[in-house]
Structure 1
Amino acid sequence: MALIALDQTITIALSVKDRHRSADWYREVLGFETIVHIDDAGWSELQTNTQNVTLGLGEHVEPVPGNCVPVFGTADLDNARASMEKIGIRFDGPTVVIEGMVKTATFYDPDGNALMLAENLMASPS
């Protein structure tokens, strides 16, 4: 049994210089559709051709090629993080909360690879 409960979503996060240009490239080349551009947060998200797998584009002045971070969805990030920290899993700073949107926390595997947990804070449409 797993230590924490994940939902069935994965976002693959990449660092890019220009999210809008990159989103266009992924649409034209791979057929991905833009879900959202959140300019205030420097974030864009695209639906891949795989169910429940999205591509997140984080805008950075100097992106690092190969810096890919898998983001695993969870319904209760605070509880998941507490359980992981209890057994010594290292996190990178405090949990980041963008009110009404998302809560995220970056952690590391035994080899130092960055992974992230995300809790969706957006209200589901009725």
Structure 2
Amino acid sequence: MAGNAEQLELPLIDLSSPDRACSAKSIRKACVDHGFFYLVNHGIEESVLQLVFQDSKKFFSLPLDEKRKLEYKDHRGYTPMFAETLDPSSKIKGDLKEGFYIGPAKLSDSQVDANQWPSDDVLPCWRATMESYYEKML
């Protein structure tokens, strides 16, 4: 490495720690100081993570017009590049990322599922994979 370049070391947070309050404080500090962190001993099997990444790649590889059918509303769905600005001090108009947001299927018994899903014709198993992952993350 040339010059004064610094090596970024991201915090490592171990969820197997019995001190949950300390873990929560560590996560907050990592988010404030770095915006990112490594999470270990989270209990999600590697096979599940690989499936989520594999299916996510399929979704984000779809044509833009197909993804836009699921455009973000009610805090769920697809956000295209430049649609969000997570760093308001950024000189770039919008973030150079796409996103897809899901949440609990229902907030109460009387509500319909607020999530938006591609049809099984477009992406077979997408919904099942993402719902399973969401449940495991809880």
Instruction: Tell me the TM-score normalised to structure 2 length.
Output: 0.27
The structure whose residues are more often strand, as a share, is: 1
Q: Which has the larger radius of gyration?
A: 2
Higher relative contact order (CA 8 A, sep 6+): 1
The structure whose residues are more often helix, as a share, is: 2
